Structure 1
């Protein structure tokens, strides 16, 4: 989490929450990608979002590394960042079991601790709703891209967001609590990008393991 003044307790609470959630995180179909159909659906989408050749991919808020693993299996060089050490431990274990190389760092996904490394792709899934300053995070991710790089944001506006229950104290006041709609996110990204496109994902139940009734999409921005 971005630790702006006054947000440190929230950042700590968020990291604590996700560390506790790590053991059961992959039980969700779109988290663990354990079902062949779900895994294949995400692999196909990633193939369309990422460059054709081997690329340097930063997975910000990587969780247990399921999407990172798909990218690595397709030949990309992957770096994952997450605030929860327990998530990172599971991501590393997946890569070890698969015999694939990958770099994983415990740190703030909104300001990844990657020093001056540049990437071809920054991949982010379902993270913006947890951030105290999502606009600063978008700028930080754009700054980590090489010229011509792309930002891939998998986001949504969750069905429960009409009255979001904070998952940790204070989270209900976050700018994108309950998710962010495609139009709002596109408006935030457009000043940073040469092109922005939206792909609807809510009509593809294989991605989620079941039909969904809320807004889900990918935003792909070329810088």
Structure 2
């Protein structure tokens, strides 16, 4: 088996290549309007209206960055792909209350007790050493700080989504989608099989790990409003994609004392 370092380099290279088409792939670009509102609502509900110092992990091209920044928070957007950050910086050029940081989301090197909130989208399933990452996130959060995670089980279709997965597989054979993982989708699979969450990430598996790291008040929030908003504006192919995998949102706190 390859070392953790080699796997991280593979992951970095994969996402760097995807930076060129990332915003054209369904599920990554966040459309303004109903979809953006659905993604932002958990931030409103659980980060609060008072401006916070927020760390966004694995910011990618800055889609979630836009949402949390527009809510009035001071945002540090972190990613370990220079190519992803280049796209994000260009997209958000000239904005105040926003800095971009080239760093590893699992070992941020940020000061202890320095952020009021941490959020990430579709990051946790890629972690090579999740326990190390969770300990670091707990360390850099201030007492009473919150973590907000958007993620899902990308390893296999949920039971109710198997029919959609079969239809999509047939559709992709007839007419491949050049932006949906494109020619490096096989590489995606080889990376996933080497990850701790390669067999699937679920709320039920993640919650005890965060509790072991010190977090409490762990709750599952519904992801359905996001999928429903996406279906209002997307075509049939992407409508099917919203039905394949089980997705969830998790919020947790660092104890105040």
SS at match of 1:108: coil
Q: Find the partner of 1:33 among 30, 45, 68.
A: 30
- Deviation digits for residues 58-100 of structure 1, max 9, x if unmatched? 0011111111111111110000111111111111122216x34
**Which of 93, 96, 99 is equivalent to 1:96?**
93
Give the TM-score normalised by the residue count of structure 1.
0.87
Q: Tell me which residue corresponds to 2:47.
A: 50
Report 1:1-223 matches (<5 A). Answer: 6-96=3-93, 99-116=95-112, 118-158=114-154, 160=156, 167=188, 169-177=190-198, 179-191=200-212, 192-202=214-224, 204-206=226-228, 208-209=230-231, 210=239, 211-223=242-254
Q: Secondary structure of the residue that 1:23 maps to in structure 2?
A: coil
Distance 2:54 2:111 in 1: 15
Structure 2 spans left out of the alignment, 5+ residues: 159-184, 232-238
User: Residue deviations 1:157-204, cap 9 Å, x none?
Assistant: 126369x96616454121111541111111111231231110121464
Note the alpha carbon deviations across 1:110-167, whole angstroms, 9 max, x for none.
11132456100010211122121112111111111001001111111126369x9661
Count matched residues: 217
Residues 60 and 80 in structure 1, CA contact (< 8 A), matched pair in contact too: yes
Distance 1:171 1:156, change over 3 A: closer
d(CA) in 2 for partners of 1:28 and 1:170? Answer: 19
Cα RMSD (Å) of the superposition?
Answer: 2.4
Contact 1:80/1:105 (<8 A) preserved = yes
Q: List runs of 5+ in structure 1 lacking aligned partners.
A: none
Query: Which of 202-211 and 24-33 deviates more?
Result: 202-211
Supply the distance in 2 between the matched residues of 1:169 and 1:222 (Cα, whole angstroms). Answer: 34
CA contact (8 A) 2:79 2:104 kept: yes
Separation of aligned partners in 2, 1:72 and 1:41: 15
For residues 178 and 51 of structure 1, do their structure 2 counterparts lie closer, same or farther at Cα, with a shift above 3 Å needed? farther
Normalization by structure 2: what TM-score?
Answer: 0.76
